[in-house]
C-alpha cells in the first residue's frame, strides 16, 4: 500500500534549539498532511496540519512546510522545551476516494535541558 | 466537545482466543477508525467506517473483523490471538468525510497482551 517515510526515527536536541522532522509521501494526489504528538502513555493529538493549497503554516513555535513537487513535508519546532519531548507522527491523506490517512513510523524527540 | 471511550483498557488473552475491543464516541462523528500501534512504532490502519454499517479494510485487516453497529460505536475483533502478541489498539473518529479531511480524534487505547 501507500507509504509515508518519516525521518529521523530518533532526535535529541538541547533546550532552546530547533528540531526538524521530515516526511515524504508517494501519492501525488495527497492533499492533507497532519502532524500528531503522542506523549508516553497518551493517545496521539493533532498539533498542526497543512493542506495542499499552502506551502507554509505556523502555529506559535510549530512550522510546517510542504513541497508538493518533491512530495515532501516537514515539521520544525523552534525554541524547543522539555515539554516538547514526545513521539511525533506525520501523515498524508490517501486520495483514492477514501477517508484514510497513512502515518509515518514516528520520531521520538527528546529535548534536554 | 466530546470523548472517545475504549473498553477494556487492558486485555489479556490466550493464544487462539477470539477477543473483542469496543469503542464509543459522542462527537456525533461519521467516520471511525481502528489502528494498531506496536511499541515505539507508527499507527497501522486495520479497519475504518464512514457511516453506520459501512466497513472498509485498511492495510492490516487480515486476522481482524470489525462492526459498526451504530454511528457512535465501532468494535474490533481479533479473530485468533497470536502468542506473545503485544500492541495498543487505538480507536479514532473524525467528522463527515465528504471528501474533506478533518482532524482525527483518538481514544485512550486498549493494551493487548497475549500469553
pLDDT per residue as tens digits for the range A67-81 = 999 999 999 999 999
Alpha carbons A89 and A68: distance in angstroms, whole number: 19
pLDDT at B102: 77
Which of helix, strand or coil describes residue B115? coil
Q: For cell 524527540, name the residue.
A: A109
Contact B103 A46 (CB under 8 A): yes
How many alpha carbons fall within 13 Å on the CB side of residue B33? Answer: 26
pLDDT, one tens digit per residue, over B77-97 is: 999 999 878 899 999 999 876
Among A21, A43, A45, A47, most B C-beta atoms within 10 A, so best to mutate, is A43
Read off the pLDDT band of A2 (50, 70, 90): confident
Half-sphere exposure of A101 (CA within 13 A, CB side): 31
B60 — pLDDT class (breaks 50, 70, 90): very high
pLDDT computed for residue B96 by the predictor: 73
State whether residue A6 sits within 8 Å of chain B by CB.
Answer: yes
Confidence at residue A97, expressed as pLDDT on a 0 to 100 scale: 56
Gap between the terminal Cα atoms of chain B: 38
Residues of B in contact with A104 (CB under 8 A): 42
Tell me the pLDDT band of B13, cut-offs 50, 70 and 90: very high
A53 touches chain B (CB under 8 A): no
Structure confidence at residue B85 (pLDDT): 82
Amino acid at each position: 500500500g501507500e507509504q509515508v517515510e518519516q525521518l529521523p526515527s530518533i532526535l535529541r536536541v538541547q533546550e532552546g534549539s530547533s528540531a526538524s522532522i521530515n516526511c515524504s509521501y508517494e501519492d501525488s494526489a495527497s492533499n492533507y498532511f497532519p502532524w500528531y504528538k503522542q506523549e508516553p502513555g497518551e493517545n496521539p493529538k493533532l498539533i498542526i496540519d497543512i493542506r495542499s493549497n499552502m506551502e507554509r503554516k505556523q502555529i506559535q513555535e510549530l512550522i510546517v512546510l510542504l513541497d508538493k513537487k518533491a512530495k515532501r513535508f516537514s515539521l520544525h519546532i523552534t525554541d524547543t522545551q522539555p515539554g516538547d519531548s514526545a513521539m511525533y507522527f506525520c501523515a498524508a491523506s490517501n486520495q483514492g476516494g477514501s477517508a484514510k490517512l497513512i502515518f509515518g513510523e514516528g520520531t521520538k524527540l527528546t529535548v534536554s535541558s | 466537545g466530546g470523548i472517545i471511550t475504549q473498553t477494556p483498557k487492558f486485555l489479556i488473552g490466550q493464544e487462539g482466543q477470539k477477543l473483542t475491543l469496543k469503542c464509543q464516541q459522542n462527537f456525533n462523528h461519521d467516520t471511525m477508525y481502528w489502528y494498531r500501534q506496536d511499541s515505539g512504532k507508527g499507527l497501522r490502519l486495520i479497519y475504518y467506517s464512514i457511516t453506520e454499517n459501512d466497513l472498509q479494510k485498511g492495510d492490516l485487516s487480515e486476522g481482524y473483523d470489525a462492526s459498526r453497529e451504530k454511528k457512535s460505536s465501532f468494535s474490533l475483533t481479533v479473530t485468533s490471538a497470536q502468542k506473545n502478541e503485544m500492541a495498543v489498539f487505538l480507536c479514532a473518529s473524525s467528522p463527515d468525510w465528504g471528501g474533506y479531511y478533518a482532524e482525527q480524534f483518538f481514544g485512550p487505547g486498549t493494551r493487548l497482551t497475549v500469553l
